[in-house]
Amino acid sequence: MPRNNAALAVTLPPQFVPIDEVGIDERVSRFSKRSIKKSSKVQALKLALSMLDLTTLSAHDTPERVRQLCHKAKNLLETMPELPHVGAVCVYGPLVKVAKEVLKGTKIHIAAVSTAFPSGMAPLKTKLIETRQFVADGADEIDMVISRGKFFEGDYDYVADEIAAVKEACGKAHLKVILETGELNTLDNVRRASDIAMHAGADFIKTSTGKVQPAATPQVTLVMLEAIRDFYYATGKKIGMKPAGGIATAKQALHYLVMLRETLGEAWLTPDLFRFGASKLANDILMQLVKEQTGAYQSIDYFSME
């Protein structure tokens, strides 16, 4: 369908952008060869903590478990009170109220996974209902999943329209769109899904639910960051990025930050535009920070699990 309105140009369905997998691998390996030491390391680890979406997404999560996680979010480490707080706590929607209660008075956001997470196999109508409900319950951020089946059918309009509808249902809450890159399989698909999500109104694009392997990888994250860069240059809009799942060590987190720094620069080095979705990462970062302070390698026994 021809569109003549020039103002619509940026909302046109994105064109196919080819991605070379080997080229991506090579670029990623360059990031991981950056050597981050001493003060530079401490600074980055603190930044990473502030970008953390502390996550629990088990089908058997209970209010008690969520409370524990929220307390951990509030008090990362008694001995280091100067540490920044994490970006958000990420939970299933029905537990938003519990988190809200514990995190009252803090600046820690509450993120709720929504839209029949993790499969997304539900009618749009029910997806919108749950989204509105979670926002009403106090969620600051909604993490939705795209309809991968429709994506593979080639029904990109459906995928885009659905995102736009959920975005509308979010109201003031920020929308993170999970592409589930582990199912998209190719980097070409990751790029296409990223473009669709951004054009449809995503505030963040996110790699994974954490329920599918592989979850976040440096490769898909780079492709998504490059899509964000192109979108920024085309529209002036800054879209956030959240790699989620599979990032368990401080060293990995540093490599992601190197990638972020060298792809998007200063403006994105903030929790407003970058998050790590992780459950085990916090403690590894804390252990590294204590090691930098004391000079001694640390044991997990000295760090609370939640």
Partner 1 sequence: MDPKSLDFKTSWEYAPAPEGKEHIKINARYEHFIGGEFVAPAKGRYFETINPATEEKLSEVAEGSSEDVDKAVVAARAALDKSWSKLRASERGKYIYRLARMMQERAREFAVIESLDGGKTIRESRDVDVPLAIAHFFYYAGWADKIRYAFPGKTPRPIGVAGQIIPWNFPLLMAAWKIAPALAAGNTVVLKPAETTPLTALKLAELIQAADLPPGVVNIVTGAGATGAALVNHPGLDKIAFTGSTEVGKLIQRAIAGSRKRYTLELGGKAANIIFEDAAIDQAVEGIVNGIFFNQGHVCCAGSRLFVQESVYDTVIRKLKDRLETLIVGDPLDKNTDIGAINSKMQLDKISAYLKIGVAEGAELYQSSCKLPKKGFFCKPTLFLHCSQSQRIVQEEIFGPVLSVQTFRTPEEAISRANNTPYGLSGGVWTDKGSKIFKVSNALRCGVVWANTYNKFDPSAPFGGYKESGMGREGGLHGLQPYIQYN
Partner 2 sequence: MSKAERKAEVVDLKDRAAARQERLPVLKTYKLFIDGKFPRSESERYYALTSANGESIANVQLGSRKDFRNAVVAARKAFPGWAGRTAYNRGQILYRMAEMLEGRRAQFIEELETLGASRSEAETETAMAVDRLIYYAGWADKFQQVFSSVNPVASSHFNFSMLEPTGVAALLAPEDSGLLGLISVVAPAVAGGNSVVVLASHSKPLAAITFSEVLHTSDLPAGVINILTGTRKELLKHFASHMDVNALVYCGSDAEEIRTVQLEAAENLKRVVIEENSDWQSEERQSPYTILATQEVKTTWHPIGL
Catalytic residue at 280?
no
Residues within window 265-304 making contact with partner 1, judged by CB under 8 A: 265-267, 269
Cβ closer to partner 2: 33 or 104?
33
Spatial contact of 260 and 268, defined as CB atoms under 8 Å apart: yes
Catalytic residue among 41, 127, 140, 143: 143
Centroid of chain to Cα 145: 12
Counting other chains too, the contacts that 102-107 makes at CB distance below 8 Å and 24 or more residues apart are 102/66, 102/67, 102/70, 102/71, 102/74, 103/70, 103/73, 103/74, 106/73, 106/74
257 binds, among partner 2, partner 1, none (CB under 5 to 8 A by kind): partner 1
14 vs 261: CA distance, rounded Å: 25
Q: Among the options 41, 72, 242, 284, which is catalytic?
A: 242
Size of the site for partner 1 (CB under 8 A): 34
Name the packing angle between helices 38-50 and 281-294 (round to 10°).
150
Instruction: Compute the least distance from the CB of residue 25 to partner 2, in Å.
Output: 7
Helix, strand or coil for residue 299?
Answer: coil
21 binds partner 2 (CB under 8 A): yes
Q: Smaller CB distance to partner 1: residue 33 or 60?
A: 33
Q: Which residues contact 230 (CB under 8 A, 6 or more apart)?
A: 17
Hey, is 48 helix, strand or coil?
helix
Q: Where are the beta strands (DSSP E) in the chain?
A: 52-55, 88-92, 109-113, 141-145, 174-178, 204-206, 240-242, 276-278
214 near partner 2, rule: CB under 8 A: no
Task: Give whole-number Cα distances, 5 to 2, 8, 9, 109, 156, in Å.
Answer: 9, 5, 7, 39, 21
* Catalytic site includes residue 172: no
Is 40 one of the binding residues for partner 1 (CB under 8 A)?
A: yes
38, 228 Cβ separation under 8 angstroms: no
Taking each helix axis from N to C end, the angle separating 124-137 and 156-170, rounded to the nearest 10 degrees, works out to: 30
With CB under 8 A as the contact rule, the residue among 103, 187, 205, 258 that binds partner 2 is 187
**Residue 181-220 contact track with partner 1, rule CB under 8 A, x = bound:** ----------------------------------------
| Interface with partner 2, residue 23, by CB under 8 A | yes
**Residue 157 binds: one of partner 1, partner 2, none (C-beta under 5 to 8 A by kind):** none
| Whether 206 is catalytic | yes
Residue 126 sits in the site that holds partner 2 (CB under 8 A): no
Contact residue for partner 1 among 60, 64, 233, 297 (CB under 8 A): 233
Interacting residues with partner 1 (CB under 8 A): 17-20, 22-24, 26-27, 33-41, 43-44, 47, 226, 229, 232-233, 236, 257, 261-262, 264-267, 269
Interacting residues with partner 2 (CB under 8 A): 20-23, 25, 185-188
